[in-house]
């Protein structure tokens, strides 16, 4: 960023600060109204486990929801996911498509701004043991049995401001509402896991991003995963539209995927032919061998045909420290409502 851009950014911050203050007052009033019962919460019959965060942009919510769904399915639970389908259309979105593709017929993914209405409709038609509420920390109108708050270890919230001047949806103090804190992308800060080991009296865990493999975007709906040796030695031109794009580029470096250049788009960006042409021109200039992006971006590339380069999507999962203790804590909190192990 040059000096003029920096000055414009500072002026914009000053202009937006009063709006952030007003936003913060409104957020606090809303939270207090729900806490006091002035605004009613609606409760589903099945257990509800919410996964959310404090900031705009990705903290790894969808991968965590997928991980939890898989773990509960392994335990014989009937699982459904409730999503608002952010920036989607026709009952879907890039994140919803990932959830449905990964979970298939094993779990239902319901989409709607009113998660209670969506969940109630599901309960009338099928038996559900656990609802996973995707991006639910601020969705206070739906009662939950467990509130899991994700904190991105790769991003510092020191001096971060509330919307619209900053990226915070709520003040950092809101983390006190959470039942469990999970610091995601712990691999980006090697000291995180060790530091959390000294907080054993608190419900705090660490999670890291794990690479499963790569999917060839030219192979249609093929789900075959390729390893690093199968996609070539590179270098690769990386592009993405994420809330935290730099973390994807750092992940590629950590996975020893050589990068010749990068391009960033807005979060949830829907790619058009013109975007693809610009990406390929930039890849040519960087002397790339192939293109690489995220699974989320791959869902926004429908209809794009790459004419000059092979293209791959990195497919990821999460790994949670003290996995059994984490899952047992969730189940214990659910059991308090139902009076027995769920």
Q: What pTM did the predictor assign?
A: 0.91
Q: Is the link from the previous residue into 235 a cis peptide, with omega within 30 of 0? A: yes
Phi, psi of 63 (to 5 degrees): -60, -35
Residues 213, 226 contacting (CB under 8 angstroms): yes
User: Parallel, antiparallel, or unpaired: how do β-strands 108-111 and 79-83 relate?
Assistant: parallel
Taking alpha carbons only, the member of 203, 177, 244, 214 closest to residue 312 is 214
Please give the pLDDT value at position 2: 44
Q: Map out the domains of the chain with their CATH numbers.
A: 47-207+319-338 (3.40.50.300), 211-317 (3.40.50)
In three state form, how does the secondary structure of the chain look? CCHHHHHHHHHHHHHHHHHHHHHHHHHHHHHHHHHCCCCCCECCCCEEEEEEECECCCCCHHHHHHHHHHHHHHCCCCEEEEECCCCCECCECHHHHHHHHHHHHHCEEEECCCHHHHHHHHHHHCCCCEEEEECCCCCCCECCCEEEEEEECCCCCCCCCECCCCCECCCHHHHHHCCEEEEECHHHCCHHHHHHCCCCCCCEEEEEEEEEEEEECCCCCCCCCECCCCCCCCCEEEEECCCCHHHHHHHHHHCCCCEEEEEECCCCCCCCHHHHHHHHHHHHHCCCCEEEEEHHHHCCCCCCCCCCCCEEEEEEEEEECCHHHHHHHHHHHHHHHHCCCC
Please give the pLDDT value at position 4: 43
What does each of the 342 residues of the chain score in pLDDT, given as a tens digit?
Answer: 444 444 456 777 778 889 999 999 999 999 999 999 999 999 999 999 999 999 987 789 999 999 999 999 999 999 999 999 877 666 779 999 999 999 999 999 999 999 999 999 999 999 999 999 999 999 999 999 999 999 998 888 888 899 999 899 999 999 999 999 999 998 877 666 656 655 555 699 999 999 999 999 987 667 799 999 999 999 999 999 998 899 999 999 999 999 999 999 999 999 999 999 999 999 999 999 999 999 999 999 988 989 899 999 999 999 998 999 999 999 999 999 887 544
Residues 49, 142 contacting (CB under 8 angstroms): no
Please give the pLDDT value at position 342: 43
Position of tokens 């206070």? 140
For residue 22, give every residue at least 6 positions away whose Cβ sits within 8 Å of its Cβ, in sequence order, or none: none
Please give the pLDDT value at position 341: 44
């Amino acid at each position: 960023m040059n000096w003029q851009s920096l000055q414009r950014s500072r002026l914009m911050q000053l202009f937006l600060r009063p709006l952030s203050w007003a936003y913060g007052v409104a957020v606090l009033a809303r939270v207090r109204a729900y806490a006091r019962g002035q605004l009613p919460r609606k409760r589903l019959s099945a257990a509800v486990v919410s996964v959310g965060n404090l900031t705009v942009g990705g903290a790894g919510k969808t991968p965590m929801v997928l991980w939890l769904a898989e773990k509960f399915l392994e335990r014989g639970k009937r699982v459904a996911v409730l999503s608002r389908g952010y920036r989607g259309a026709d009952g879907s979105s890039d994140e919803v498509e990932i959830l449905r593709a990964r979970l298939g017929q094993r779990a239902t993914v319901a989409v709607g701004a009113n998660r209670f209405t969506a969940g109630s409709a599901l309960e009338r038609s099928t038996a559900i043991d656990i609802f996973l509420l995707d991006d639910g920390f601020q969705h206070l109108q739906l009662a939950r049995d467990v509130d899991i708050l994700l904190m991105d270890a790769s991003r510092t919230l020191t001096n971060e401001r509330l919307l619209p001047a900053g990226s915070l949806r709520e003040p950092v103090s809101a983390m006190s509402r959470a039942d469990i804190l999970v610091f995601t992308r712990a691999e980006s800060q090697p000291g995180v896991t060790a530091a959390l080991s000294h907080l054993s009296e608190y419900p705090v865990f660490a999670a890291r991003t794990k690479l499963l493999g790569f999917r060839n975007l030219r192979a249609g709906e093929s789900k075959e995963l390729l390893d690093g040796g199968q996609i070539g030695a590179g270098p690769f031109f990386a592009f993405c539209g994420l809330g935290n794009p730099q973390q994807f580029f750092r992940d590629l470096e950590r996975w020893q995927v050589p990068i010749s250049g990068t391009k960033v788009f807005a979060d949830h960006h829907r790619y058009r032919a013109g975007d693809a042409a610009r990406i390929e021109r930039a890849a040519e200039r960087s002397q790339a061998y192939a293109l690489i992006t995220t699974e989320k971006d791959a869902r926004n590339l429908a209809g794009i045909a790459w004419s000059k380069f092979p293209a791959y999507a990195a497919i990821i999962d999460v790994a949670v420290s003290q996995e059994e203790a984490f899952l047992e804590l969730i189940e214990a909190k659910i059991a308090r409502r139902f009076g027995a192990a769920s």
